[in-house]
Structure 1
């Protein structure tokens, strides 16, 4: 009997769109990270690191043994700031302390505030020493673009301004630190606090001596800023932080405004609260570097850069959140770098926040990009992005066709699951390409290219037919992972064997061996292979191209313990080793697509079960408590099922209508979603069910009508309801449902 956690030292983030400060919730800054080994924490002002961290040493001279580096015994996370509390951990002293840190909006720095208070009846003679370890260094793989870290960081102190200024000795990278209270002493050089961090950094320290009478407090503020271009910029940013502007009020208002859009209200207040935190986490992951671009990054702390695949999932949720600008900025960024690095229609996989592209893109990402640009237009009616990207979208479509070198409708190359060696004709690539052809057909119609539109509408239909024919395994009742010949699979046998070694289910191993044995005579004939039952076999249901009979059968099988664990959907049912929010999220969307809202809600709750298990206020990338402590595509996994399917909101810019097709989970008898941005305005919906009767209140603050649709379970005046166009700005509709959603 045992219990376990993979989060032995929880981390946090203090962020704005310019920087990310990452440390552990005890207030320390341990070395960690695998992309840049032991360097992923600290203060990052992309594309450079500024600090390894900072530490406060405290002495109560009136106590015998109180001399220690302060380690928090309580941590509180807020959307806009972090708070650390120091009580019993300081030892036998009547002094308590609180540390608050905030990254003001638009700033290139952070403000760190320490508040000391004497809660005793006698005066306390105190000393503090604030030590910061500067470590000016570049991003992961910077050497590939000939950017190298210097051999040391140089530092100087300007006494009249209480300011340290440090510089990398090879590059124009700067750090500036100052203090609100003139120090009694300072020092700089090669020394460390409680953690001996790696790198070519340098340390600086402010020392203060003060007396605290009973009940008296003392506040020390430290301002830390940086620049990857000029010393003057770092200094001016540091001085801006000293202006005592109400940074907290500004950030609080930002998040209050964020909550108001797509505001969910249900009886389950815990669920409602986590839903808000998902919005907050998304904001934390916005990164804006003027000369390199603005967009949503994948996750913290290991993936603080821009991705194709991750973004195309995430942005579907971002649209539901109403952040049109973030969606547009991210798509523009990915487009621009794809043009720069590829130019042939291929979409890049990842862009570092120094403009470097280490991976030119997986096949699936090119298809996903075309689809996402179209979804952006349909939701916002902003055609300018289509205008800008259309020339490259045409190249994307040509490039995708070129990857289908045997004309079987299935492009070759890596899909979402980047398993070395499995760069075959993968199901996710085939499915998203089918969807991309359909979206491209609609784009062509919008631009009056009728012949091209008809061509790709047919190609999309033909692709869908082939997917449902060739990639459906009727014996298993599931879609296949890949389309390949026996010879191809035989060559990749070592990869498959490696996956099978982790398999827990004997019947799965037996099935795989049977599959390999029975197909020996196939030679180079291609057919569908159900190799490792990865989560991407959900994708035909995710986008709705699976026939109802196949979808129902597959979804029922994949709702079992073979595929679903305590925290969601396994990455594959062979090993049942790992779960991610994206695998669970795609399953939730798939279930909701076919009307199984109860099952979709069950999956979202599994994701929510992991809330705060690694970091207070966050949901981890790897369920329940490891990987990145906050991950962008969780936004897709939560927002899309709720907004798009439970409430059924589906705007159509082409048709100048907003389709509404609610399919609420049975336990949500009262639910509302307020101020959902669609097209040129917003809509609000409240839903109330008693027995079989539903009251739907709709407020439409757009210039377009709402079309209420039914799922063959709505009864109005005794008749099955199909659809009704609603032109009123506010209306109440009463109808009956045959039965609760499954």
Structure 2
């Protein structure tokens, strides 16, 4: 059951700050409400994050063995690059507490725990940013009483890499932990000398001094004795430790006097990969003033929530998804220090490091199995990040990608694919065959960030790496046809060596590089990149359009002869999704055919776009769904709906002004985040939606689920609203801003407030009546402002007024439709009225 509580976040911050460590908050999020769940809490995961630590558990307050990279060990408490604990459990008067209600908030989670004699204890978990510790607060209500409080902790000190199947694996890498007591805290260690010496430590304790303690192999609270997951499936529906577990446990006991007005007790789980002294210092810092730490976290999230506030009266679900997606992005920021960078060749080697990155900060891909540095994920997530005004994390992510790629690839220009927070590059070194698309997208991401921030220093810092990336990509062309070889987002049997998404993002990357080069006065690179892009653009439609009743672009080309291969993959939408400086790549006629085809039931289900559509196939499994074309594909349908696929579909529709069909896809991603019938963790957008070929996460065991929180799906919410519906198109680096809204069908008003652009901000409101379109803006930045509106189909212009006076205007036809445009000076407040006939 879902419950929304209406506590104002601003008031909440003030109350918590004033009260110090008295009481964690009632549920509140950026819109003044938390999201609560009571059903099947034992089957649902939660995530609580800070930028240097995080926690993954179940919403009933237990910690089942979770995840598959290190089988069963991806949950619990982590401080990258190491895991600290399997879990933390609480008992009152000998009874283990279990949650009966779970609530997601903005920057924290909360549980209502059931205790003996009808006692209800509120548990608040928050991970302060900047420190390597998680805080857990237990609030005991009045009346006055004395309770016996016990805390169990079970350690599992291990590194983020190696994994369960790599060379070496955690079977040999994970060593036995030892447990101790320092007079106040449980202290866990894992030490090694020799080739790879380390000193991992975790400290568990409270602001209170315990009455007693115990140490031993178990101490998993209600999960004792532990069920250990087998090394391979089949696995029991639920287990408590992975096959590589080498942890140990301990218990702290307290006598707690609760006054009539209630009392809150705080606990910290802190850690370090630099020994016990560092972990102890982290614990002391976290417990110095937990209430204030919570208040700072809430205040920071309130600041983020205040940016890009949208008002969508005709689509409140999407409005709420924008608010929660901003929080999801903030939840995904991570940092690690002292990364010893090495290429593991897909986990088959463990060589000495090629170099060190002192600090890496990034937007993690997904929890619990993908909280790491990825190129593809970030390059999609960047669009959501800039639209949300969260510039700093995505800039840092690009720096981390550049620094790691430069070290492991020796300045070749190739961008790495996947990096763990200890510096392991699993895939994307020079000797690996891909992913080519990640290098092609790198200059576009740099250009995107520069246009929204106007940060010339960032552009200049990234410029050489962007040039090298496109030189690298264009050189991957053995047959000199203009289409680079190498891996894209999809790899399936029968695909040709040249992939559609690689081709699309190569064209976009060249255009964006040319734009960056021109802004710096680098005529040579600008000319080269423009010529390279122009050659490919002129050949794109005749080369890639598959045509016929497929009504689609080919997924890949097979050599020799650039033979078109069609397999119905989601990447078929990338020609419509990729926006070049002059508009989307795909020709409008073909784009409309392809988009309409993808909207049919052979490609799109209840929650969005399938990974691979259905139709005739030579695959042994045969065709398991409807057919929208007669082409015989070599692969079967994969009816799994990823939030990224749906995001790409939403953006593709918006690029061509198809805001009616777009709503199907924005609603799909919003529902898996906010619909109580669908969500796993309230407010968190997952990696994969319930779909015919993917059973919902809560129906799967904890070892084989998709991510409960995945960052890239926010692309399909924030970008369609801010860039496409509100029409915000900044080029702040050149001192220009265009605002040309397009109202979705049936909606009369949309608005956005405090949209961050450069060092300023923008408010925009667009309204529609039967006879007029009105666009009002407040541009708090110095930029040459172009105002406009997308005309309804079939409408003609009767007149245009700017700030109440007749104004000269121009009209143009774009992929979005007919537009009215005029110059509106440099920033400030302005109102455009377009009268229609």
TM bracket (short chain): 0.7 to 0.9
The yes-or-no answer on 1:629 pairing with 2:675 is no
- CA offsets, 1:250-291, max 9 Å, x none? 111111111111111122444322211111011111001233
With the length of structure 1 as denominator, give the TM-score of the two structures: 0.87
Shift of 1:354: 0.8
CA offsets per residue over residues 598-643 of structure 1, 9 Å max, x none?
A: 2212210111111241111211110134311111111211111111
* 1:383 equivalent in alignment to 2:404: no
Q: Secondary structure at the match of 2:371?
A: strand
SS in 1 for 2:254: strand
1:312-355 deviation per Cα after TM superposition (whole angstroms, max 9, x unaligned): 00011101111221121111111111111112111110111111
* Aligned 8 A contact 1:563 1:576 in 2: no
Q: Write the distance in 1 (CA, Å) between the matches of 2:146 and 2:162.
A: 49
Q: What secondary structure sits across from 1:731 in the alignment?
A: strand
Determine helix, strand or coil for the equivalent of 1:172: strand
Structure 1: how far apart are the matches of 2:536 and 2:54?
A: 43
Asked if structure 1 preserves the Cα contact closer than 8 Å seen for 2:317 and 2:670, the reply is: no
- The counterpart of 1:226, out of the listed 271, 291, 298, is 271
Helix, strand or coil at the partner of 1:194:
helix
Alignment of 1:639 with 2:718, yes or no, is yes
Question: Which residue is 2:517 aligned to?
Answer: 444
Do structure 1's residue 549 and structure 2's residue 648 form an aligned pair?
no
Could you report, residue by residue, the CA deviation over 1:136-186 in whole angstroms, capped at 9, with x for unpaired residues? 111132776999745321222122xx1222211323111112223332221
Q: Which residue of 1 aligns with 2:539?
A: 466
What's the counterpart of residue 424 of structure 1? 497
Q: Answer whether contact 2:496 2:558 (CA < 8 A) is retained.
A: no
Q: Give secondary structure in 2 for the equivalent of 1:367.
A: helix
> Quick one: which of 608, 611, 628 aligns to 2:673?
611
Q: Which residue of 2 aligns with 1:481?
A: 555
- Please tell me whether the aligned partners of residues 349 and 359 of structure 1 are also in contact (alpha carbons under 8 angstroms): yes
1:292/1:355 contact within 8 Å kept = no
C-alpha deviation, 1:579, in angstroms: 0.3
1:436 deviates by 1.2
Tell me how far 1:194 sits from its aligned partner. Answer: 2.5
How many angstroms does 1:455 deviate by?
Answer: 3.3
Q: 1:365: how far off?
A: 0.6
Q: Counterpart in 2 of 1:101?
A: 125
Question: Pairwise CA RMSD of aligned residues?
Answer: 2.4
Secondary structure in 2 matching 1:729 = strand
* Larger mean Cα displacement after TM superposition, 239-248 or 356-365: 239-248
Whole-angstrom CA distance in 2 between matches of 1:629 and 1:247: 26
Task: Provide the C-alpha distance between the structure 2 equivalents of 1:326 and 1:664, rounded to a whole number of angstroms.
Answer: 31
Whether contact under 8 Å (2:726, 2:750) holds in the other structure is no
2:569 and 2:611 in contact (8 A); partners too: yes
Name whichever of 585-594 and 180-189 sits farther off. 180-189
Residue aligned with 2:719, SS: helix
Distance in 1 between residues matched to 2:474 and 2:424, nearest whole Å: 27
Deviation at 1:484, TM superposition (A): 0.9
Say whether the 8 Å CA contact 1:680–1:703 is kept in structure 2.
no
Equivalent residue, structure 2, for 1:304: 371
The size of the alignment, in residue pairs, is 679
8 Å Cα contact 1:58-1:68 kept in structure 2: yes
Q: 1:390 and 1:95 mapped to 2: Cα distance?
A: 60
Matched, 1:525 2:623: no
Contact 2:776 2:832 in 1 (8 A): yes
Normalising by structure 2, report the TM-score. Answer: 0.77
Aligned equivalent of 2:318: 271
Point out where structure 2 has 5 or more consecutive residues left out of the alignment: 1-38, 193-197, 227-240, 338-357, 429-433, 579-583, 615-636, 691-695, 698-705, 801-809, 812-819
Secondary structure in 2 matching 1:458: helix
Matching residue of 2:821: 723
TM-superposed deviation, 1:556: 1.1
The partner residue of 2:610 within 567, 570, 576 is 570
Tell me, yes or no, if the aligned pair for 2:739 and 2:788 is still in contact at 8 Å: yes
Query: Which structure 1 residue ranges, 5 or more long, are not aligned?
Result: 60-66, 486-523
CA distance in 2, matches of 1:328, 1:302: 23
Alpha-carbon contact 1:414-1:422 (below 8 Å) kept: no
Per-residue CA deviation, residues 576-597 of structure 1 (Å, 9 max, x unaligned), is: 5200111111111111101111
Q: Is the contact made by 2:49 and 2:55 (CA closer than 8 Å) also made in structure 1?
A: yes
Note closer, same or farther for the CA distance 1:355–1:478 as it changes in structure 2 (3 Å cut): same
Offset at 1:709?
3.8
Q: 1:114 aligns with which of 109, 120, 138?
A: 138
Which stretch shows the higher mean deviation, 447-456 or 299-308? 447-456
Is the counterpart of residue 665 in structure 1 residue 701 in structure 2? no
Quote the offset at 1:6 in angstroms.
12
1:644-659 equivalences under 5 Å are 644-653=723-732, 655-659=734-738
2: CA distance, partners of 1:350 / 1:678: 30
Change (3 A) 1:737 1:293: farther
What is the DSSP-based 3-state SS (H/G/I as helix, E as strand, rest coil) of the residue aligned with 1:609? helix
